[in-house]
Structure 1
Amino acid sequence: DVGIMQINWCYHGQRFASPWEALAPATNIRVAETILMENLQRSGSAMKAVAWYHSADPSRGGAYFARFMTHFKQLDPATFTQ
């Protein structure tokens, strides 16, 4: 996995012009956003979109989503803007 958003190079390396581009934070975040949006459009579920970001395998993706939610619940809602 590479970059700030830990994008899997084996599955998504073709989304970058080079490995160095994958390490650029802004580019890495934009590609992660694209992956999440594609997952959301395919699944119709934010939960599945996040799980599939890690793995389409239900047990691996589900475990990732559970860890994600543990961290997400620790965030201060006041830091979010509409």
Structure 2
Amino acid sequence: MKLEATRRNEKRKLAALWFNAASVASVAIGILTPVATAIFDLEKARRSSGELAGTLLGSMVVAALLVAAGRIFLNDLEDAE
């Protein structure tokens, strides 16, 4: 049974890693998109400060939810001994 528990644990760790990577991507998109818009002077992509704040807040909330989902997977790890 030790092998089965180890296998399940590894699957849970990989799922948690995927959620973590998705949360990092969410924050990166939320921060880098407005910065790139300002640097490259993309007039059509410019947003008001309210929309910018909403984008940043939304990306942070999505990231927090994804990290929480990953932590749920890690909380279910089994003792493989």
- The structure whose RCO (Cα within 8 Å, separation 6+) is larger is 2
Q: Flag whether TM exceeds 0.5 (same fold).
A: no
More helix by percentage: 2
**Which of the two has higher C-alpha Rg?**
2
The normalised TM-score by structure 1 is 0.32
The normalised TM-score by structure 2 is 0.32
